[in-house]
Amino acid sequence: MIARWPKSLRFGAGIVLLWLIAAVLAPWLTPADPYAIDLDNTLRPPGGDWLMGTDHVGRDVFTRVVFAARIDIWMGVMGVLAPLLIGVTIGLFAGYFGGLFDSVMMRIVDITLAFPFLILVLAIVAMLGPGITNFIIALALVAWVSYARLIRADVMVVKNAEYVQAARTLGFSSPLIIFKHVLPNTISPIIVYAMTDMVLVVLAGASLGFIGLGVQPPTAEWGAMIADGQAYITEAWWVSFFPGLAAVSFGIGLSLIGDGLARMLRIGDT
Amino acid sequence: MFLKVGKRLGHILPVLLGISIVSFGLIQLTPGDPARMILGNKASVEAVEAVRERMGLNEPVLQQYGNYMLNLVQGDLGESLRYQQPVSELIMQFLPVTGFLALYVIVLTVPLTILLGILAARNRGRWIDQLIRMTSVLGMTMPVFWLAMLMLRIFSVELGWFPVSGFGTGFVGHLHHLFLPAVSVSIYLIPVLVRNLRAALLEEMNADYVVASRSKGLPEGYIFRRHILKNASLPTLNLFGVLITWLIGGTVIVELVYAIPGLGTLMFNAILGRDYSVIQGLTLFYAFSTVIITLVTDMLSALIDPRIEL
């Protein structure tokens, strides 16, 4: 089956799988403790005992990059899953039943889309207080609208399809029709979009970490690590460089999966 | 035409109302008493009470919203506790810098987007399309603040070509100071825009009139210039809607890296200082601007193509 996947999907899945393995096996793959401060060895360049150098308090950058994958992947998965579940459920029911619920939901979608995504997330986290949980709450509040809008448009088409009409004639209940017939036929674009969305979510999470609204120190997270190195960018580029590289490689993996899936499922222009 | 515009304005009013409810509601999200959050645990009960009174928090929520709306209609976004200044005044003070940066980004972005979009669409599937696609993926996945820091290190610190931070003086000074920030945001924006434009162009290239021209024996280049490009001007215009939201998100973070005294920096300071009215005011301002810009692009589209329903 894998042999029939598009090249980009195989490649992307490979990268993401590597990161998943790294995240799970982090304690066994890394030479140091991600929190061990070593003031005798601060800002050591890459090489020798330190594959990616050490940061301003002597922590091993390589170890922290690998451990950070746990946080960033978790953030990406939860930050997509929460809005996806909410958005898909609302979109399915709004599209299928129409009426007042649909109108109200679509007004809420319009209003939310009027806000620039990052600004609204930033404002909500600023109010709730820093932390990953609050970031995911903010995403659940804001990002579901894209999923709802996307699936609703397809539901409007599918609900008039012959197989749905047939199911209705046979007297199946609405929830059964929605989940057994409508959902499987409208979910593909959602899956593809979720991949692109995860890139955005990881980047947004890293941005929040960068400005100090995400994970709190000393937890290792790519965005927060980049921020750690900001003050030392002139003398120790490696402190910021490697976490950024990690984020880019993970993002590329996700994008390639999205691209490959779109090609395989024949969605979009590719 | 006027009827259309009127109808469209009618659609916008509920959205504007919704925006005001959201930005008003933000303050309700604070865990615990906002006044206590602002002043901290050590503040006396009297001080907290005074701030509550000043923020109007002692009134019922509906009345608070009523007051908020009443002030909003008069252009009053509340007062910043940190700067001791009206929020609207603050926004006007920081806006020109961000506006300059945004225009700079647009000037850099639009020609490149059009060039790359056309190149990719015309050579669909060939190596140049693949190359543009690969670089796009790279540009989209790079954290914009990381890229900004790397460029700062290489071009400002190492090579000394550009200043490390700030806004500079005079028009040329601004251009010089904001070059790297503008490039950072552009690198983040161009991939999204190129993707959009490429898709729009490809759609036009499969249209019936193109097939007809081709069967008449017209050369490909002629068809592209005379027919496809003309018809693709609308999707290009619509790109602006996409551009603006991404642009705003991009500038906020980049301003921080380069210490540019714009709205992003104002937002960041407000978040740090729990200056809630500034956060609310800025969020409202950003959403309001987005709505207005989208409205203007939609109207321009309708002017170009009368078939478009507003």
pLDDT surpasses 70 at B139: yes
Specify whether B221 is located in the same domain as B167: yes
**Cβ atoms of A199 and B140 closer than 8 Å:** yes
Which of A115, A213, A230 lies closest to B271 in CB terms?
A213
Query: What pLDDT does residue A270 have?
Result: 46
Mean pLDDT across B271-296: 89
Distance of alpha carbon B61 from alpha carbon B73, whole angstroms: 18
Specify whether B69 is located in the same domain as B96: no
Specify whether B129 is located in the same domain as B64: no
**Residue B79 in domain:** no
Q: How far apart are the first and last CA of chain A?
A: 21
Q: What is the ipTM of this complex?
A: 0.86
Asked if the bond preceding A218 is cis, omega within 30° of 0, the reply is yes
* Chain A positions in Cβ-Cβ contact with residue B291 (cut-off 8 Å): 114
**Cβ atoms of B285 and B91 closer than 8 Å:** yes
**Residue B300 in domain:** yes
Region label for A25, one of left (φ > 0), alpha (ψ between -120 and 50) or beta (otherwise):
alpha
Domains and CATH numbers, chain A: 15-25+61-264 (1.10.3720.10)
Compute the count of residue pairs across chains A and B with CB atoms less than 8 Å apart.
148
Which of B157, B248, B276 lies closest to A234 in CB terms?
B157
**Residue B228 in domain:** yes
Reported as a pLDDT band with limits 50, 70 and 90, residue B285 is very high
Q: Which two tokens stand for residue B113?
A: 């987007």
Query: Which residues touch B230 (CB under 8 Å, ≥6 apart)?
Result: none
Mean pLDDT across A199-214: 90
**Cβ atoms of B190 and B243 closer than 8 Å:** no
Q: Which two tokens stand for residue B98?
A: 């961000």
> Which residue in A110, A133, A143, A103 sits closest to B21, CA to CA?
A110
* Chain B positions in Cβ-Cβ contact with residue A126 (cut-off 8 Å): 270-271, 279
Query: What pLDDT does residue A144 have?
Result: 94
Q: Lowest-confidence range among A48-52, A121-125, B144-148?
A: A48-52
Mutation site for A-interface testing, chosen from B146, B153, B294 by largest number of A Cβ within 10 Å: B146
More confident residue, A92 or B159: A92
Specify whether B26 is located in the same domain as B126: no
Specify whether B38 is located in the same domain as B135: no
Specify whether B158 is located in the same domain as B199: yes
Cα of A83 to nearest chain B Cα, Å:
18
B85 SS3 class? strand
* Chain B positions in Cβ-Cβ contact with residue A268 (cut-off 8 Å): 199
Mean pLDDT across A195-210: 91
Using one digit for the tens of pLDDT, what is the confidence trace for B100-112?
999 999 999 988 9
Q: Which helix (H) or strand (E) holds A243?
A: helix A238-264
B82-88: long-range contacts, CB 8 A cutoff, minimum separation 24: B82/B269, B82/B270, B82/B273, B82/B275, B82/B278, B83/B275, B83/B278, B87/B277, B87/B278, B87/B280, B87/B281, B87/B282, B88/B281
Specify whether B183 is located in the same domain as B258: yes
Domain span including residue B64: 16-73
pLDDT surpasses 60 at B268: yes
**Residue B158 in domain:** yes
Specify whether B184 is located in the same domain as B288: yes
Specify whether B46 is located in the same domain as B115: no
Mean pLDDT of chain A: 90
**Residue B82 in domain:** no
Mean pLDDT across B116-129: 88
Distance of alpha carbon B8 from alpha carbon A110, whole angstroms: 14
Query: What pLDDT does residue A268 have?
Result: 58
* Chain B positions in Cβ-Cβ contact with residue A199 (cut-off 8 Å): 140-141
Q: What amino acid occupies position B131?
A: L
**Cβ atoms of A155 and A92 closer than 8 Å:** yes
Reported as a pLDDT band with limits 50, 70 and 90, residue B309 is low
B248 in contact with A, Cβ within 8 Å: yes
Question: The whole model's pTM is what?
Answer: 0.88
Residue ending a domain, among B38, B73, B108, is B73
Distance of alpha carbon A207 from alpha carbon B255, whole angstroms: 13
Specify whether B106 is located in the same domain as B202: yes
Specify whether B46 is located in the same domain as B105: no
- DSSP summary character for residue A60: B
Cα of A233 to nearest chain B Cα, Å:
6
Distance of alpha carbon A187 from alpha carbon B202, whole angstroms: 25
pLDDT surpasses 50 at A239: yes
pLDDT surpasses 70 at A247: yes
Count CB atoms within 10 A of the CB of residue B307. 5
Put simply, the answer to whether B143 touches A247 (Cβ < 8 Å) is yes
**Residue B129 in domain:** yes
Structure-token match 């809607």, residue found = B241
Distance of alpha carbon A39 from alpha carbon B296, whole angstroms: 57
Q: Which two tokens stand for residue A27?
A: 């304690």
Counting the structural domains of chain B, the total is 2
Specify whether B126 is located in the same domain as B236: yes
* Chain B positions in Cβ-Cβ contact with residue A119 (cut-off 8 Å): 248-249, 252, 267, 282-283, 286-287
Strand residue runs (E) in chain B:
79-80, 85-86
Which of A120, A207, A233 lies closest to B253 in CB terms?
A207
> Which residue in B77, B80, B26, B31 sits closest to B51, CA to CA?
B80
Put simply, the answer to whether A211 touches B256 (Cβ < 8 Å) is yes
Going from the C-alpha of B49 to that of each of B24, B34, B35, B38, B54, the distances in angstroms are: 20, 11, 8, 12, 9
Going from the C-alpha of B216 to that of each of B165, B212, B225, the distances in angstroms are: 58, 6, 16
**Cβ atoms of A126 and B23 closer than 8 Å:** no
**Residue B289 in domain:** yes
> Which residue in B41, B87, B78 sits closest to B56, CA to CA?
B78
Q: DSSP for A17-49?
A: HHHHHHHHTHHHH-SS-TT---GGGTTPPSBTT
Mean pLDDT of chain B: 85
Put simply, the answer to whether A116 touches B22 (Cβ < 8 Å) is no
pLDDT surpasses 60 at A210: yes
B134 in contact with A, Cβ within 8 Å: no
Query: Which residues touch B237 (CB under 8 Å, ≥6 apart)?
Result: B297, B300, B301, B304
Query: What pLDDT does residue A123 have?
Result: 93
Distance of alpha carbon B170 from alpha carbon B155, whole angstroms: 22
B120 in contact with A, Cβ within 8 Å: no
Cα of B215 to nearest chain A Cα, Å:
24
Provide the CATH number for the domain around residue B296: 1.10.3720.10
| Residue of chain B whose alpha carbon sits nearest to that of A238 | B150
| Residue of chain B whose alpha carbon sits nearest to that of A212 | B272
Cα of B157 to nearest chain A Cα, Å:
7
Residue A42, φ and ψ in degrees, nearest 5 = -85, 145
pLDDT surpasses 90 at B164: no
B147 SS3 class? helix
Cα of B30 to nearest chain A Cα, Å:
5
Mean pLDDT across A71-77: 94
**Residue B247 in domain:** yes
Residue ending a domain, among B30, B46, B73, is B73
